[in-house]
Amino acid sequence: MNTNWFLALAIFYINYIFIITGQEFDFIIVGVGSAGSIMAARLSEPDKNWSVLALDRGSPRNSVQNDTWNEDLSGIHDPNYFSVAQDYLLGRLVRNPRYYGIGGTAMINGMTAVAPSRYLLDQLWPFGWK
C-alpha cells in the first residue's frame, strides 16, 4: 500500500468517525509506533484538555509473542520492505523489517545490535569513555 493510498484511507476514516459520531479532534496522530504513541499519550494528558485520535493500520495487539517469525524477521505483520540494489552486496536487496500494528516496528525485538567501528570509538568518543 503506497503512502497516498494510506493517507486517503486515513482521511476517509477520520471523515467516517466525524460523520458517525459528530466528534472533532484537536490532534490526529497517524502512526502509533514508538514516537506516535508517546506523542498521543502526552497530548491526551488530563491537564491538556485536548482530544486526540491515534490511527494505525494493523491490529491492536499486546504482544507478538505467539506470532511466527522467520529468521529474517519476516512474518504475517511484515510489509516486506526491501532496500534498493546495493552495489557493495553485488546488487542484492536488503530486508528492512517493519511491523504493522500499534507499536509499529518497536514490537519487533530482534535482539540485534550494530557495534561501532574502532574509528568511531577513537575519533568521536572522549578518551575516558572508551
CA distances (Å), origin 8, targets 2, 32, 33, 112 = 10, 17, 20, 35
Dump pLDDT digits (tens) for 15-29: 556 656 667 788 888
What confidence category does residue 65 fall into, taking pLDDT thresholds of 50, 70 and 90? low
Residue-averaged pLDDT of the chain: 73
Q: Give the pLDDT of residue 111.
A: 61
On the question of pLDDT at 47 being above 80, the answer is yes
Full-model pTM: 0.53
Only one residue has cell 482530544, namely 51
pLDDT at 40 over 80: yes
